[in-house]
Amino acid sequence: MGLLRFTLNLRKLGVVKGYVWGTIAGGLGVLLTMLVRSAQGLDNSWSTLADSPWNVIVMFGSVAFTLGFLVGVGSMDDWIKWMLGRPGSDGHYHPKKGVPHWHRFFNMDTNHKVVGIQYGGLGILVLLLGGLLALIFRTELAEPGLQYIGEDTYNTYIGLHGQLMFVAVLLGVGAMANYLVPLMIGAQDMAFPRMNGFAFWINVPAATLLLLAIPAGGFDTGWTAYPPLSVMADLGMQLALVAVFILGFSSILGGMNLIVTIFMMRAPGMSLFRMPIFVWGVLATSLLQLTATQFIGLSFLMVSIERAADIPFFDPARGGDVTLYQHLFWFYSHPTVYIWILPGLGIISEILPVFARKPLFGYSFIALSSMAIAVMGYLVWAHHMFASAMDPFLRVPFMLTTLLIAVPTGIKFFSWLATLWEGKIRFATPMYFMIGSFMLFLLGGLTGPPSALVVTGLHLHDSHFVVAHFHITVFGGFVFAYFGAIYYWFPKITGRMYSEFLGKAHFGIMFVGFVTFALMLFRIGLLGMRRRIADYDPALGFDIYNTVATVAAFVAGFSILIMLANLAFSVVYGRRASHNPWRSRGLEWQIASPPPELNYSDLPQIVGNPYDYGLPGSVYAIVAPEDQVEDEGPPPEQIMPAKPALPAPATGD
């Protein structure tokens, strides 16, 4: 009976309603398009080839599916009511009788903490799917010869791996930003809570469409979808292009929401230079998301229109230009790597002082270096095109702008080192991840100049060296920082402690596995192994490195399972954590864990600097008395020896 009730209750879930509505709307979209085409005497027969009539049908069907889903999930309820002149909801969560609490995470919700967890959950799911694809084609590469999957499957998987990971990282950034920013700046929620929920739910139909690319024939272009190849690719390409186009809306709306929140909703006393450093990272990222995403949307839209309506934007035989696409594409896709890593670098800057018990060295330089990276990120896109048909004289200016990015990045490294110097460093799982992040991002950053200096870049371009470079950069700048952040804020999010042993095991296994993997890829890249090849000539001597890289990739993948097991187990059975197990000065740690529905019942007062560890009597924030927490008894987790209570407020800093 219990199972039956459970199953029946599923129909009330927003996500289920969304899929039902989406499927109906998508079906109607497909039928309507077919009808219009038939009326014109056009062919509607099913085919997955590049010139299939379904290129048009799928395009309209996908848009209808997405709109149907967004209405069905309830993300537009209030807006629709307002348009009809009716009062909307009050925007707050009201528990309903008979509806379990976990339903909340599968419904449209406006609370930023719920949205953050939704982002995080979907992000991990997509990350697992993308990682699974990677392990499949990595296995294929382990030895010469095509053993497990054919060339077409291989080509589809590498492209889909890229796009899924792209989505997963953006979701991860969204998770951190949504959950943490309002808590950190002392706000009750985001500036536009309804838009926040809406922006999240866009990701679900879009990710679904992306996955549908596999049954629709896949696409053999890699994630970059360069025309003319993408115009000649199978129907799966059209779905992927439309999916990424739709995803762009989520980025733009999310970025806008965060910018407004950060500028308008900070607690009294929190000047820009008293914000937690992570918020600076999110601000820089959000500015990029708001202003750059349009370009990938535009470039993908143009390719999908060329496929669907035969408008020859990129067909040189009919006056198009293939290099134009690359400029448009990289004008977004280079800044996007800063969208991924700036919050990660913010996390490192945020967590290091807590575990070093020392102020962040050079706060304003670190904060401004994030903004500098964001601005300079716009001026370097053509370094992805050194080997392209672009005029060679343009290579030199783009090389110089690229090298200049090393300067603000270097500032961060030196400041982190100086932060640790003369601190009193404690080691817990988040700190391990920060150290791993530091080392990997350093190696990733240092392998940038060989690719950026145009002479050597012409050898490395499109080789596995580049693959290793950006994987190590994203692992250092995002993945390790993100996982570290999950462990660090886990007690805040759940009120429970994770297993330190499993956390450290996760770190050790993933670090060793990933470093080995990356070094092997550097090696074969220099020796001349190209990117995106399904197989290679055994005479080149790559095979041993490829075998080791595959084993290492599986080791790193296995460590993710440890993390998931640790987190899943700890949510239910973990020991209760005190409200501030790390003795952080951060605003979010001064209130109960998990935070109340509206975070702060009254506005907190910011009276000091966020990282003044070691300054006796200094205080960062004073929260309202009713928000203050006294933990009963000694904190159960003794990783960080706890001080008895908050120090008394002092004047000035």
Partner 1 sequence: MERYGIKHFIALVVVILGAVILISGGSLIPEPVEQVTNPDASPLDVEDQTGALIAIVAAIMVAMVIVGGMLLTIFWLANRQVTKAAALEYDPADPLDYRTYGLAMAFIVPAVLAVTAMLIFFLALDLMPVQASEEAKVVDRIFTIEFVSISVIFGLVVGLLIHALFSFRAEPDDDGDGRHIHGNIPIEITWTIIPLIFVLLLGVYTAFQHSEITEAKDNEIGVRVEGFQWGWRFFYPVELFFTPEEFAELDQRQQADIINRGGVFSNELVLLQDQTVRLEMESVDVIHSFWVPEFRVKRDVVPGVLTELRYTPILAGTYRVRCAELCGLNHWQMYANVRVVNQAEYDEWIERTRASLGNPVEAGEQLFQANCITCHSVDGSDNTGPTWLNVIGYEHVMEDGARVFVDYDYIERSIWNPNAQIVEGYDAGIMPQNFDQTISQIQVEQIFAYMCSLSDRADQVPLCVDLLQQAGAETGSPGDEADMTEPAEADGLADDSSEG
Name the burial class of residue 572, with classes exposed (0-12), middle (13-18) and buried (19+) by CB atoms within 10 angstroms of its CB: exposed
**Among 315-323, 498-506, 560-568, 624-632, the segment contacting partner 1 (CB under 8 A):** 315-323
Residue ranges in 377-406 that form contacts with partner 1 under rule CB under 8 A: 387-389, 392, 395-396, 399-400, 403-404, 406
- 547 makes contact with partner 1 (CB under 8 A): no
359 binds partner 1 (CB under 8 A): yes
To which residue do tokens 């200016």 refer? 397
CB of 406 to partner 1, least distance (A): 5
Contact in structure between 539 and 597 (CB atoms under 8 Å): no
Closer to partner 1 at the Cβ: 218 or 254? 218
Query: Can residue 415 be called a binding residue for partner 1 (CB under 8 A)?
Result: yes
Examine residue 358 and tell whether it contacts partner 1 (CB under 8 A).
Answer: yes
Question: Closer CB to partner 1, residue 309 or residue 446?
Answer: 446
- Which has the closest alpha carbon to 167: 221, 195, 204? 204
Residue 454 makes contact with partner 1 by CB under 8 A:
yes
Q: Which stretch binds partner 1 (CB under 8 A): 62-70, 74-82, 242-250, 418-426?
A: 418-426
Stretch that binds partner 1, among 126-134, 283-291, 314-322, 551-559 (CB under 8 A): 314-322
**Candidate residues 357, 371, 571, 636; the one interacting with partner 1 per rule CB under 8 A:** 357
Residue range at the interface with partner 1 (CB under 8 A); choices 83-91, 160-168, 206-214, 313-321: 313-321
| Cβ contact 370:320 at 8 Å | no
Q: Which of residues 177-216 bind partner 1 (CB under 8 A)?
A: none
Q: Is residue 504 a contact point for partner 1 (CB under 8 A)?
A: no
Q: Could you say whether residue 501 binds partner 1 (CB under 8 A)?
A: no
CB contact at 8 A, 290 and 259:
yes
Question: Whole-number minimum distance, CB 174 to partner 1, in Å?
Answer: 29
Binding residue (CB under 8 A) for partner 1 from 71, 232, 505, 551: 232
Number of residues that bind partner 1 (CB under 8 A): 97
Comparing CB distances to partner 1, the nearer of 28 and 387 is 387
Residue 289 binds partner 1, judged by CB under 8 A: no
Q: Which of 169, 174, 161, 346 is nearest to 252 (CA)?
A: 174
User: Which of 245, 215, 385, 214 shows the shortest CA–CA distance to 307?
Assistant: 245
Among 81, 125, 151, 596, binds partner 1 (CB under 8 A): 151
Contact positions with partner 1 (CB under 8 A) in 459-478: 459, 461-463
The one among 260, 305, 526, 571 contacting partner 1 by CB under 8 A:
526
**Which residue, among 116, 140, 117, 136, has the nearest Cα to 128 in the 3D structure?**
136
Cβ proximity of 548 and 520 under 8 Å: yes
Q: How far is CA 292 from the centre of its chain?
A: 16
Go through the chain and tell me how many residues it has: 653
Contact status: 316 vs partner 1 (CB under 8 A)? yes
By beta-carbon proximity to partner 1, the closer residue of 178 and 221 is: 221
State which of residues 612, 622, 635, 637 lies at the interface with partner 1 (CB under 8 A): 612
- Residue 317's contacts (CB-CB under 8 Å, 6 or more residues apart) are none
Element (H, E) at 197: helix 193-212
DSSP string, 112-145: HHHHHHHHHHHHHHHHHHHHHHHHHHHHHHTSSS
**Positions 30 through 49 that interact with partner 1 (CB under 8 A):** 49
Under 8 Å between Cβ of 221 and 237: yes
Secondary structure, 3-state, 14-52: HHHHHHHHHHHHHHHHHHHHHHHHHHCCCCCCCCCCCCC
| Binding piece for partner 1, criterion CB under 8 A, among 20-28, 351-359, 504-512, 563-571 | 351-359
As measured in angstroms, the least distance from the Cβ of 89 to partner 1 is 47
Q: Token pair of 59, please?
A: 């395009």
